[in-house]
Amino acid sequence: MVWPNKDIKETEKQLEPNWFEIKHQNQIVYHSLVVHSFGEVQTHTTTANTIIRRINADHAENKVRRMVVNMTVIKDN
């Protein structure tokens, strides 16, 4: 993020991360915070097969594997 006066507060740095929900029947819901909306979250629903096809088409397997170290899994009961 860019701040004109470079005077960013600690609370302003605390952005909500993107997150995924894995639902039943191969459904994945992606939630992404829209940074410049001050709290609005975009949601998109897709399937695991669609994601895998896209990763394969982009030859992005290694990129995805490197992202795993930054992932946190939360099991919601």
Distance of CA 36 to the CA centre of its chain: 16
The residues near 24 (Cβ < 8 Å, ≥ 6 apart) are: none
42: left (phi over 0), alpha (psi -120 to 50) or beta: beta
Which tens digits make up the pLDDT trace of 14-73?
666 678 888 877 899 888 876 666 667 788 899 989 999 999 999 999 998 988 887 777
pLDDT digits (tens, 9 = 90+) for 10-22: 776 666 667 888 8
Q: Which position has the token pair 């819901």?
A: 29
